């Protein structure tokens, strides 16, 4: 199944736009309860206004909230980002730490956020267990665990460490484009023949093909048709 994922999404990557570890950390915090597309609409102006951890720590709350408003839950997110900036200044000289044990001590940063930052900003392998990843590995029978930390450890035992980050991206891509929560595109899925949950969604190719999303759609359908 992993090899099929590799073929399906050879260029899978973090879909949040960033240029520094701090930008990625903030973007991941903002992505809660919204889409990466929406976050990417907000961050160009945000990152131009707030360039350092100290900028976030000393931000005018009302001004920051206006930048964050389109992402939803903007007051809570402003609290998180300001607290994050203050913690980075106080504990790490304003720099984002490159270790899991340090990242998870920061306000609003759990293992999922930490693993995204480690994998994409520091090149440290990590498994990102978001809703898509958890749903798919359970459908595939890789684990029955519901707790994200237990899912992370269970999958980590199956897959070589060096492949964790790309596996996370490819699985999340597949969840967003093919294996949807309510109506997966089973009949147009390149993994269909190996999937123990085949039949959860429509099994006919034409009906399922209508559910496939993303710019990779033609490639996905071609792979599915050949398998």
Catalytic positions, written as ranges: 112, 130
CA dihedral 129, 131, 132, 134 (to 10 degrees): 50
What's the chain's Rg over C-alpha atoms?
A: 19
- Location of structure tokens 């990779």: 216
Residue ranges for the known binding site for [4Fe-4S] cluster are: 179, 186, 189, 195
The whole-angstrom separation of Cα 89 and Cα 70 is 27
DSSP annotation of 71: G
Feature table: binding site: 179, 186, 189, 195
> Are 222 and 166 in contact, with CB atoms under 8 Å apart?
no
Nearest of 123, 191, 190 to residue 115 by alpha carbon: 123
Taking Cα atoms as reference points, which of 110, 181, 123 lies closest to residue 152?
A: 110
């Amino acid at each position: 199944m992993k090899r099929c994922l590799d073929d399906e999404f050879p260029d899978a990557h973090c879909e949040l736009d960033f240029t520094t570890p701090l930008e990625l950390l903030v973007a991941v915090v903002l992505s809660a309860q919204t889409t990466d597309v929406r976050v990417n609409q907000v961050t160009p102006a945000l990152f131009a206004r707030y360039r350092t951890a100290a900028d976030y720590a000393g931000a005018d709350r009302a001004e920051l909230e206006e930048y964050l408003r389109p992402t939803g839950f903007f007051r809570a997110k402003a609290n998180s980002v300001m607290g994050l900036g203050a913690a980075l200044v106080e504990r790490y000289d304003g720099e984002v730490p490159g270790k899991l044990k340090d990242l998870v001590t920061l306000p609003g940063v759990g293992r999922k956020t930490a693993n995204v930052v480690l994998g994409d900003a520091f090149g440290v392998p990590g498994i990102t267990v978001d809703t898509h990843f958890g749903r798919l590995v359970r459908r595939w029978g890789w684990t029955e665990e519901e707790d994200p930390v237990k899912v992370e450890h269970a999958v980590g035992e199956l897959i070589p460490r060096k492949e964790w980050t790309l596996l996370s991206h490819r699985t999340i891509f597949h969840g967003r484009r093919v294996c949807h929560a309510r109506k997966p595109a089973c009949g147009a899925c390149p993994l269909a023949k190996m999937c123990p949950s085949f039949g959860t969604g429509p099994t006919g190719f034409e009906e399922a093909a209508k559910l496939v999303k993303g710019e990779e759609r033609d490639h996905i359908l071609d792979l599915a048709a050949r398998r």
